[in-house]
Amino acid sequence: MKRDCKSVWSECLGLIEEQVLPRTFKTWFAPIRALNLQQDVLTIQVPSQYVYECLEEHFVDILRKAVRTVIGPNAKLEYSVGTYFLVNPGFQFGI
């Protein structure tokens, strides 16, 4: 059965949510959107370069573990720095 990127990312988020504080999850992970899943590569969209850098610096191990748990041991994660908030003006960071 072929899985779509949104359901895969939703599973990843469930695993991540168990490992971080609620405020951390809401601030850093809830805004992320899944864009694509091709073979074992999941592409996610982060709202800014700053968020990307913080994720890579502080949460990369949690992200990798979640993606590999859901997709498999060869899973890879790619980022796209996007403008999600410009097309969804009602979205708010959990600060």
Neighbour-count burial for 46-61, b at 16+ CB within 10 Å, e otherwise: bbeeebbeebeeebee
In this prediction the pTM is: 0.82
Q: Residue 93 — very low, low, confident or very high, per pLDDT cuts 50/70/90?
A: very low
Quick: pLDDT tens for 37-87. Answer: 999 999 999 999 999 999 999 999 999 999 999 999 999 999 999 865 444
Neighbours of 80 (CB within 10 A): 13
